Every structure is written in structure tokens, then in C-alpha cells.
Amino acid sequence: MIRLTWLQFRMQAAAAAAALAVIAVVLALTGPHLAHLYDVSGITVCQAHADCASLSSRFLNQASAAFTDNFLLGFGNVVVAAPALVGIFWGAPLIARELETGTYRLTWTQAVTRTRWLIVKLGIVGVAGVAAVGLLSLMLTWWFRPIDLVNMNRLTPAVFGERGVVPAAYAAFAFALGVTAGVVLRRTLPAMAVALAGFAATRLAITYWVRPHLITPVQATGKVVESLPGGGALRLWPAAGPHGPAGTPVTIPGSAWVYSIQQVDAAGHVVHPVLRAACHRSQAAIDACTAGYHRVVSYQPSTRFWAFQWRETAVFLALALILAGLTFWWLRRRLS
């Protein structure tokens, strides 16, 4: 069964290997140059002391010039698309083609049980898909490291899904979704469509509705929130003094993922006070109006990047396993 699966799969495997090889060569040729640009930019030195806005933008401009924006963007898209491609082209046809063409009537009557057949097919192609995407994302994480260190935005949705280990988990899920769609719908093209739509919808849903809840955010309380220029950092002052914010502020770096800045009353309830026009006349007026209220900033520090990565990986792997179980059940019970 293993040899048969390989025989049927080898063309797709070769295509993926070729694509990965090409990308690896391109990255290997260009990566060191980007790293060199970063090393000579002086950002490592300045980051220890002050903000490096000008050095950062100069480095980024150099990078853009060296590799053109399309190039950089293109790589990001590859990692976003790769899991979907695995689901559509490796997952959906896996079983659907056999059902569509009737070849299952040949294979299921040889001396191999349906369960073993499915286990081997899912195992070999699934692992290959996950490994390919995993390798791709690790290569890209390595290549983008200088840029990520400068941008410090790894927790934003646009970047998070293109780095680290989550793309491999996305691929596992997309693959399982494709296979399940194929088994239920029994036709390759509709299964591909469902795989694509389902994968996109799930990714969006989890990014915006599940990921924020994976780890309880840090909450910093203060009286005044000040936006710092260049980089999106925030400063939270504990008190509002007569000449402006007072006390020792808490700095929330721009790399943090800020959920919300909310107004909270003395009892801790979130309020949405509408400041009457009268409150805006002077600082004293503002202070008076906001006397009983605090500001609470909910955020995730960027050091939690890997914690988020592993948790989201677990979520998608769990989904993949559930779908795989559904496929087994469907194949045994319903297709009879």
C-alpha cells in the first residue's frame, strides 16, 4: 500500500520538491545580503539605547531597493497560499478521484482493508504536505529575520500566519479538510472549492475570534494614555497631574499586540462615557470629567509570539485530527 501510494503521488511530490528547491536556492542566495545590510545598519547598537526610527527606515528602504517590494511581498504570499494549495491539490483529489473514476472498486477489493488504505494514503501525503509547508515557512522565517527585528510586528495577523510553525499546522488542517470534502462530496472539483472556501473562512475566523483568547492578555492600568511617535508604542501614565501626566509611566512597545484601550470606572466596569462638550474646555475640565475613571490597556507583549504559535498550532492540529476521524467514520459507515 505504501508503494502504491508513492506511485500515485510521486508526480506531485516531485513538483513540490522542485518548487521548494528553487525557493531554497533563491533564499540562500539573497538571505546573506539582507543579513549583511542589517548588520551594518547599526540598528543592533541603537536599539539598546533609544528608538531607531531613522536607522530602521533607512534599512527598510535599502532592503526594498535591493529586493524590490514585489519580491518581499511575493514570498509572504507563497507561505499564505501554500497550505491552501496542499488542501486543494493534494487533499481534495486524494479520495475524491478514486470515488469519481470508480478505481476504488478495484483497490478496495484487493487484499487490503479500507482502513489501512486510508491510513497509508492520509499518512504519506499528509505528512509530505505538512513537511513541505513547514520547511517553506522555516526557510522564510530565517530569511525575514532582519526585517522582523526591525518591524517588530510578528504578532500582527498579516505576519503571524507566515512565520514559525503555524503554516505547517494550517497545511495539516487544509489537507484534512480537502480529504473530508472529497470523501463526502465524492467529486474532485466541488471538493477543491469547498477546501478553499472552508480553509479561508476557518483561518479568518480563528485569527479574529479565537487567537485573541488563546492567552489572557496583560492589562495595564493608568490614567493617561500617550501615543509615542514612530513605531506605535504607548505610554501609560498612572496619574494626571496639574501640568500633565505624572508618575512613572509604563511603556508598551510598538511590537506589542494591543487589543483595546478602554475606559473603566472605579468598580472596574467598562464604560463608554461621552465626554460632553463642556469637558473639553481645558485640561482641568477634562481631569474633572474623568476623575473617577481609569484607562486600561489590554495587550500581548511580543515575547509571547512563540506561545501563540504553539497554541494556534495545537488548535489547527486538533481540527485536522477531528476531520481525519470524520473521514474514517464516513468512509466506513456512510459509503456502504
**108-116 long-range contacts, CB within 8 A, separation 24+:** 112/1, 114/331, 114/332, 115/328, 115/332, 116/1
Give me the least distance between CB of 313 and other proteins, in Å please. Answer: 35
How many CA atoms lie less than 13 Å away from 26 in the CB half-sphere? 13
Per rule CB under 8 A, is residue 280 in the interface with other proteins? no
- Cβ proximity to other proteins: between 135 and 335 the closer is 335
Q: Which of 46, 58, 80, 108 binds other proteins (CB under 8 A)?
A: 108
CA distance 173 to 264: 40
Q: How many residues touch other proteins (CB under 8 A)? A: 20
Burial class (CB in 10 A: 0-12, 13-18, 19+), 209: exposed
Q: Which of 54, 77, 113, 251 binds other proteins (CB under 8 A)?
A: 113
> Which of the residues 72 through 101 are near other proteins (CB under 8 A)?
101
Query: Where would I find the H helices in 152-253?
Result: 157-160, 166-185, 188-205, 211-214
Spell out the residues 6+ positions from residue 307 whose beta carbon is closer than 8 angstroms to its own.
215
Give me the least distance between CB of 98 and other proteins, in Å please. Answer: 9
Q: Which of 54, 57, 77, 110 binds other proteins (CB under 8 A)?
A: 110
Q: Which of 29, 49, 50, 102 binds other proteins (CB under 8 A)?
A: 102
Report whether 124 contacts 6 (CB < 8 A): yes
- Cβ proximity to other proteins: between 109 and 282 the closer is 109
Pairing between strand 244-246 and 250-252? unpaired
Q: Which of 49, 70, 109, 243 binds other proteins (CB under 8 A)?
A: 109
Report whether 257 contacts 300 (CB < 8 A): yes
Q: Which of 111, 274, 277, 284 binds other proteins (CB under 8 A)?
A: 111
Pairing between strand 294-300 and 218-222? antiparallel
Q: In what order do the strands lie in the sheet with 294-300?
A: 218-222, 294-300, 257-264, 270-271
List beta partners, residue 220: 297
Per rule CB under 8 A, is residue 112 in the interface with other proteins? yes
- Cβ proximity to other proteins: between 110 and 221 the closer is 110
- Cβ proximity to other proteins: between 1 and 218 the closer is 1
Per rule CB under 8 A, is residue 107 in the interface with other proteins? yes
C-alpha cell at 42: 547599526
- Cβ proximity to other proteins: between 102 and 229 the closer is 102
Report whether 169 contacts 210 (CB < 8 A): no
Which stretch in 3-11, 71-79, 195-203, 307-315 sits in contact with other proteins by CB under 8 A? Answer: 3-11
Read off the amino acid at residue 69: D
- Cβ proximity to other proteins: between 111 and 266 the closer is 111
CA distance 118 to 95: 9
Quickly count: other Cβ atoms within 10 Å of residue 189's Cβ: 12
Give me the least distance between CB of 12 and other proteins, in Å please. Answer: 12
Give me the least distance between CB of 121 and other proteins, in Å please. Answer: 13
Per rule CB under 8 A, is residue 61 in the interface with other proteins? no
Per rule CB under 8 A, is residue 13 in the interface with other proteins? no
- Cβ proximity to other proteins: between 134 and 182 the closer is 182
Q: Which of 68, 103, 156, 251 binds other proteins (CB under 8 A)?
A: 103
Site string for other proteins, 240-259 (x = CB under 8 A): --------------------
Q: Residues interacting with other proteins, by CB under 8 A?
A: 1, 3-4, 7-8, 101-114, 336
